[in-house]
Structure 1
């Protein structure tokens, strides 16, 4: 199948749009996961006496 330049450009744009859509889905999923994760707390080092 021989494609002319316009057909190749159209096909490339369609593939780019699909790839962009998939990337957007992945980014949205990461954002959702980050929102629901509890923040990790560092263990505080106490520089004062523990009874205070």
Structure 2
């Protein structure tokens, strides 16, 4: 399966190519995010409980 790399914070808005600003997405999902002009919220792993939390 192919994947696309999506910038969480777009480059036009100061986003970087660093791994913590990138997410792998299915190509169809990636296109739909851009077509709808939706944003992806960054998730980070809590060091205390290993659960995902919204940043």
TM-score interval (norm. to shorter): under 0.3
Q: Name the TM-score, length of structure 2 as normaliser.
A: 0.24
More helix by share: 1
TM-score by length of 1: 0.25
More strand by share: 2
Which of 1 and 2 has greater Rg?
1
Instruction: Report 1 or 2 for greater relative contact order, CA contacts < 8 Å, sequence distance ≥ 6.
Output: 2
